[in-house]
Amino acid sequence: MIAYAERFVPENDNEAEPPRQDHHDIQSLPLDLQLQGTVDFGASSAAMAARDFGGMQSVSPLAVIRPMGVDDVARLVKAVLCSGDLTVAARGNGHSINGQAMSDQGLVVDMRTAEADRFQILAEGPNGIGYAVVPGGALWEDVLRVCLSYGYAPRSYTDYLSLTVGGTLSNAGVSGQAFRYGPQTSNVTELEVVTGNGDIVLCSERENSELFFAALGGLGQFGIITRAKIPLQPAPDMVKYTLCSYVCAPP
């Protein structure tokens, strides 16, 4: 059987098709953003949001929005809703490989900037069980680092940690801990979500549960996760891990 690749996969960014530079002009759109954050039309931002990690998808975003916080995200979604056919996509750390965090001729919300460094570590209940309340744009490596400084760790994280909380909760989030604790989507107790109407809604298994379960694994289609409450457990003093080698030595 003869197989062929339907798409040309560029080996590096220089070989990839450049993003198109045409279509909409944001000035002509009926948008009243009034954001605390920034709206970036620059070529480097557009290039960042124009291609995904797999290098196979390439689009031309209109602008990259860098919100300052949840109010900015809500204001943006409301403005987009009133604008007609404009689309908006949340982008975490852009590590999805099939264009999930992209928007052709639309707005890309760079969630990494939305209060990405604001963390709360909470102790609740008689046993003082810890929770981390973290922004959707936070990287798991930062979440883990902050939690460890309190002697805690999330129960379930990803093996590769340069992914955002919102990005992996919108997928599943699996790692070596998943066989014991389940994926990250089973290890979050509450979300703050900006819905498609631009409302800021707190949801959990008990409160607004439909939104909660839709947002988890929802690839950003049911709202933008701006905050998540993640149960913690005491971090072990030591961990054991095995490095896999693909070089087989003769017995």
Q: Which span sits near ligand FAD by CB under 6 A: 38-46, 89-97, 121-129, 195-203?
A: 89-97
Is residue 175 near ligand FAD by the rule CB under 6 A? Answer: yes
- Decide: 118 and 197 in contact? Cβ < 8 Å: no
Per-residue contact track with ligand FAD, 128 to 157, x per CB under 6 A? Answer: --------x---------------------
Nearest residue (CB) to ligand FAD, 129 versus 196? 196
- With CA atoms as reference, report the closest residue to 228 among 77, 128, 95, 120: 120
Q: What is the largest CA-CA distance in the chain?
A: 71
* Residue 123 to residue 221: CA distance in whole angstroms: 32
Nearest residue (CB) to ligand FAD, 61 versus 167? 167
Is residue 173 near ligand FAD by the rule CB under 6 A? Answer: yes
Burial 45-60 (b: 16+ CB within 10 A, else e): bbbbbbbbeebbbbbb
Is residue 91 near ligand FAD by the rule CB under 6 A? Answer: yes
Determine which residue in the list 67, 195, 220, 229 makes contact with ligand FAD, applying CB under 6 A.
220
* Residue 158 to residue 168: CA distance in whole angstroms: 8
Determine which residue in the list 92, 106, 154, 198 makes contact with ligand FAD, applying CB under 6 A.
92
Is residue 106 near ligand FAD by the rule CB under 6 A? Answer: no
CB neighbour list of residue 46: distance below 8 Å, 6 or more residues apart: 19, 40, 60, 61, 63, 64
* Distinct helix (H) and strand (E) counts, the chain: 6, 10
Determine which residue in the list 16, 107, 111, 147 makes contact with ligand FAD, applying CB under 6 A.
111
Per-residue contact track with ligand FAD, 47 to 76, x per CB under 6 A? Answer: ------x-----------------------
Q: How far is the CB of 50 from ligand FAD (least distance, A)?
A: 13
Per-residue contact track with ligand FAD, 176 to 215, x per CB under 6 A? Answer: ----------------------------------------
Pairing label, strands 129-135, 224-234: antiparallel
* Residue 107 to residue 40: CA distance in whole angstroms: 10
Is residue 101 near ligand FAD by the rule CB under 6 A? Answer: yes
Nearest residue (CB) to ligand FAD, 129 versus 146? 146
From start to end of 63-128, where are the E strands? 63-66, 88-91, 107-110, 120-124
* Residue 170 to residue 106: CA distance in whole angstroms: 20
Residues that bind ligand FAD (CB under 6 A): 53, 89-96, 100-101, 111, 136, 158-160, 163-164, 166-168, 170-175, 219-220, 224-225
